[in-house]
Amino acid sequence: MRPIPSDETLIAQFGMPRNELIQATDLHTLTVQAWLSSRSPQAARFNGKGIKASSTGFKIPLLNLALGCDFPADTSTAEIEEEVRAVIDFFAKRNVPWYWWLNTKPSPPAIGQILEKCGLQYDSPPLPAMIAPNRQDETSFPAHSKDTRVWRANSIADLQAASKIRRLAFRFAEGQAMTYFEDMPSDWLDDSSPARLFLAGESESEPMSIGAMIEGAGIPGIYVMATLPNQHRKGYGKAILTRLLAEASVSESRIVALTASKAGAALYSQFGFLHLFDFDFYSLPGQ
């Protein structure tokens, strides 16, 4: 991971100071994650005084999330603890593993201590948030094979292939999210959706990689990037990302956002993405 850029670099590239970029990226990310974790036929939501949570029902932690913490300043610690326990109970009744995805400026600031008091633990390492200038010159991107086909998902067969690729790439628990994309076809095929799903391969009959551009809070973001485990280092990820950034360029936003795994950060850096800040996670021990 490259060092966090200076204020001068950020203003020169994005025309916005660090705090504004962090706030905008934070809001975008939590907005999209709330959407993703609420999209399934079995989805359920929790809406409290300062906490929102959503659950697909799949036994996959990143598809069951409590997102941020935004209590009014006069909320007592007892009230906050009561709502935290209500969130824990919400996921217990769903019988799913889950994460608390903490925003950059929670209210109260000491929410981490309250979460630990209620039995959660800090889950390291933190997750890097990265941004790149929108509408970059595509000639600056790393090259990929011109034989690679990249296409927008346009059929149930494409969605079925995307579910398989994501399941294998992320090593989902056996039997979980087997039909994730095809169970929500309008989310991934309709122009009215905030999401655009793409596949890549040597031909449209053999997709090897997927990725999505999802808009949230006025910012386009890169999501669900995945390649079949036996197809790495063949340029599929680069081809997908090039297409996603072209799709994002339609937005008036000056930035494109994403969150990066350690493995993905190196690829994203080649496409102009800079490490801006980190998200913190909490979870229940042993889940």
Complete DSSP assignment for 84-141: HHHHHHHHHHHT---EEEE-SS-BSTTHHHHHHHTT-EE-SSPEEEEEEESS--GGGS
Q: Which helix (H) or strand (E) holds 22?
A: helix 18-36
29: left (phi over 0), alpha (psi -120 to 50) or beta: alpha
Q: What is the mean pLDDT of residues 159-166?
A: 97
Q: Looking at residue 23, what DSSP letter applies? A: H
Give backbone dihedrals phi and psi of 54, rounded to 5 degrees, phi first.
-145, 150
Length reported for the chain: 287
If 0-12 CB within 10 Å is exposed, 13-18 middle and 19+ buried, where does residue 252 land?
A: exposed
Q: Whole-angstrom Cα distance, residue 9 to residue 131?
A: 12
CA 45 centroid distance within chain: 18
pTM for the whole structure: 0.95
Q: What pLDDT score does 2 carry?
A: 61
282 pLDDT above the threshold of 70 = yes
Contacts of 154 (CB under 8 A, 6+ apart): 189
Report angle CA 196, 198, 199 to the nearest 5 degrees.
Answer: 165
Does residue 52 register a pLDDT over 80? yes
pLDDT at 53: 98
| Structure token pair of residue 272 | 């102009």
Q: What percent of the chain has pLDDT over 90?
A: 91
Distance CA 241, CA 169 (A): 17
Note the pLDDT of residue 145.
Answer: 86
Tell me the per-residue pLDDT of 86-137, one tens digit each, with 9 for 90 and over. Answer: 999 999 999 999 999 999 999 999 999 999 999 999 999 999 999 999 999 9
Q: How far apart are CA 90 and CA 243, in angstroms?
A: 39
Asked whether the predicted pLDDT for residue 3 surpasses 90, the reply is: no
Contact 118, 88 (CB under 8 A): yes
The token pair that represents 200 in the structure block: 């890549």
Which pLDDT value is given to residue 146?
84
Q: Which CATH number fits domain 135-253: 3.20.20.60, 3.90.79.10, 3.40.630.30, 3.40.50.1820?
A: 3.40.630.30
Domain boundaries, the chain: 17-127, 135-253
Say if strands 64-67 and 99-102 run parallel, antiparallel, or are unpaired: parallel
| Residue 1, pLDDT score | 58
**Mean pLDDT confidence for 53-64:** 96
pLDDT bucket at 271, cuts 50 / 70 / 90: very high
Are the beta carbons of 200 and 183 closer than 8 angstroms?
no
Contact 271, 81 (CB under 8 A): no
Q: State mean pLDDT over 222-239.
A: 95
pLDDT > 70 fraction of the chain, expressed in percent and rounded:
99
